[in-house]
Chains A and B, each alone.
Chain A
């Protein structure tokens, strides 16, 4: 469904230094797949996701969704941000309705849909609150509701639970799984946590830094539904996979250190 070929992106910072974030990256994501994207920090996960979102122009390569090359942001995709990116002056309902508003949905309709999603995300009673009055976990529920409100085919999530505490993260993971199992959007979910990548994903795309590309695709053979109680027993396959991913990541970190210090391999 999402097909990425030969994607390269080099940033030039203010001093004129260049950083190659993506180098000939390729990735295919199947329809209704939950793909998690795991890699060392700075390897280009956010860049790849923003390229798919149409927010970052890339230097070369192609990104196609259902065979059509993307041209900037589109109504078929919605993004969830690590820092929530909520409008601090707008109420919960207005934040959830924001994407619909930008897309020209009439007030009555967008508010109705926003209220439904607010309830779905367990935020009933908080409709009029401002983001600053909510906990981090609740703020991200608003961020997810805002993305779901525009009914995207593809949900792009950039470390959405990276800024919330461990217990809230567990809850949010289970809620997201339940939502996904019900609605089955295609999800690309960036994380730096091996456990999260395995718990959520159908496959884990393991990214390497320098070159910034998908180094390996690891299928996750865990039964679904994994939400609430049906979750993996955190032993067996689950433990093996997270251990394997950590081995690979540690290799990458070590290679990276050798490259940087110039020491012989």
Chain B
């Protein structure tokens, strides 16, 4: 028991989930919900023929581009909105509208704009991820304590010094919360975009396999997507820990981390 308790919670819960999946899959014995072992076998077959690897590479590249654009644009626009009432008034209504709109409805637009390729998928990913980053960044910048800005101004800081020396460091913990959400949404956007546009990446495989009722393949891809998402989130958390080491642990708890 004590040995069990020493194991980290996440792998433990994953192992339990895998076990439940296997048991239910075997007990049900239906083709649309194969047990984990069948899915893993399928994954091995798919990996062996090489097509999967190319798709994974395609998808990862889409994800990387989409995430990078979302983070850069999201933080730049968010800072501008947080610092300037006028920018916020001008952009706020669009940002909040698009934050709540179902992002996939724009896929046909991108499809006709960029054609059935990488451009359209990346655009869908950005639609999924960028707004939550903008909103969090703007809120983070507005929450920077006024007394810190005042202190910096008393030592002669202008806007160009305030931003890198006070505003961005102070806003980093909340910005990172938005980045975490944004990266999660980017993974969703990648799969949805690829499924809709359906000529590249993992989403393409899902659509094909789904069309022929090949549940094992669909679930195999799902496993890969989950792995990608977990790695992406782990990377974000590592960056977060490096950047926000100074935040007291109690404050982090209060932030709802």
Contact = CB atoms under 8 A, between A and B. Distances in A.
A183 B9 CA distance: 59
Nearest to B149: A85
Given A81-B151, A85-B147, A87-B148, A73 B156 contact: yes
A130 B155 contact: no
B166 A74 contact: no
Given A102-B161, A102-B165, A132 B154 contact: no
A87 to B, nearest CB: 7
A85 B170 CA distance: 12
B154 A55 contact: yes
B68 interface: no
Nearest to A83: B147
B46 interface: no
Given A87-B166, A88-B246, A130-B246, A102 B155 contact: yes
A133 B33 CA distance: 54
Contact of B246 (A83, A85, A132): A132
B153 interface: yes
Interface in A87-144: 87-89, 98-99, 101-103, 130, 132
A103 B155 contact: yes
B246 A53 contact: no
A219 interface: no
Interface string A60-99: 0000000000000111011101010101110000000011
Interface in A42-71: 50, 53-55
A81 B147 contact: yes
A98 B155 contact: yes
A66 to B, nearest CB: 18
B246 A103 contact: no
A150 interface: yes
A37 B152 CA distance: 24
B248 interface: yes
A150 B148 CA distance: 17
Interface residues of B, number: 19
A143 B172 CA distance: 23
Interface in B109-160: 147-148, 150-157
A79 B166 contact: no
A75 B156 contact: yes
B246 A102 contact: no
A98 B148 CA distance: 12
Contacts of A99: 155-156
Contacts of A54: 154
Interface in A128-170: 130, 132, 150
B210 interface: no
Contacts of B166: 87
A192 B155 CA distance: 25
B44 interface: no
Nearest to A101: B165
Contact of B154 (A79, A87, A101, A130): A79
Nearest to B243: A89
A53 B154 contact: yes
A77 B151 CA distance: 12
B152 A102 contact: yes
A102 B152 CA distance: 8
Contacts of B247: 88
Contacts of B148: 85, 87
Contacts of A89: 169-170, 172, 246
Contacts of A78: 154-155
A128 B246 CA distance: 12
Contact of B151 (A75, A85, A101, A132): A85
Interface string B161-182: 1000110011010000000000
Contacts of B246: 88-89, 130, 132
A204 B148 CA distance: 29
A72 B47 CA distance: 67
B156 A103 contact: yes
Given A55-B150, A73-B156, A102-B155, 7 more contacts: A55-B153, A73-B155, A74-B156, A77-B154, A99-B155, A102-B156, A130-B246
24 contacts: A50-B150, A53-B154, A55-B150, A55-B153, A55-B154, A73-B155, A73-B156, A75-B156, A78-B155, A81-B151, A83-B147, A85-B150, A87-B148, A89-B170, A89-B172, A89-B246, A98-B152, A102-B152, A103-B155, A103-B156, A130-B246, A132-B246, A132-B248, A150-B155
